[in-house]
Amino acid sequence: MNKLSIIKLSSVCFLILASCSQDTDSPQEQIQKTISAMETAVEQRSLDSVKELVSSDYKDQWNGNRRAALRSLMFYFQGHQSIHLLTRTSDIELADDGKSASAIVYVGMAGKPVEKSEYLIDMNADLYRFDVDLITDGDEWRVISARWQPARPENFDF
């Protein structure tokens, strides 16, 4: 599997996890919980859980749709028996209408548990910055689009 496919799969998983919510939380808190849920779903290799977090209208920077993203994620799961993520959310912005939002999330991906960001370099982890757009679907947030690029270790120190 090439690096682009791995990135796509990781992106989709991460983005899908960003849509769980609770009525008592602020939209920003709901989005943060969604991001955490995405992290858990990817680490548990649960394609069904990720699927629930991605909008049926999903598009990524390569014009990939929801089906293509989930297929890429499935291949990533097949190639990686152990997936561990360290995520850091640096920015969540809610649109004026309150029905859409964007978030910047840094993700370190490794084959072993990652407890602290300073361990990422020693573990030779893959580091990415995800720019995620979300929409509300009823009471839940779903990922509608994502863009990603390589990140640097210092992006994880906040």
This prediction has a pTM of 0.81
Average pLDDT, the chain: 85
15-61 pLDDT per residue, tens: 554 444 445 789 999 999 999 999 999 999 999 999 999 999 999 98
CA distance 41 to 43: 5
Q: How confident is the model at residue 149 (pLDDT cuts 50, 70, 90)?
A: very high
User: At 14, is the pLDDT very low, low, confident or very high (cuts 50, 70, 90)?
Assistant: low
98 φψ region: left (φ > 0), alpha (ψ -120 to 50), beta (else)? left
Task: Supply the CATH classification number for the domain 3-156.
Answer: 3.10.450.50
Average pLDDT over residues 136-150: 92
Domain boundaries, the chain: 3-156
Residue 121, pLDDT score: 72
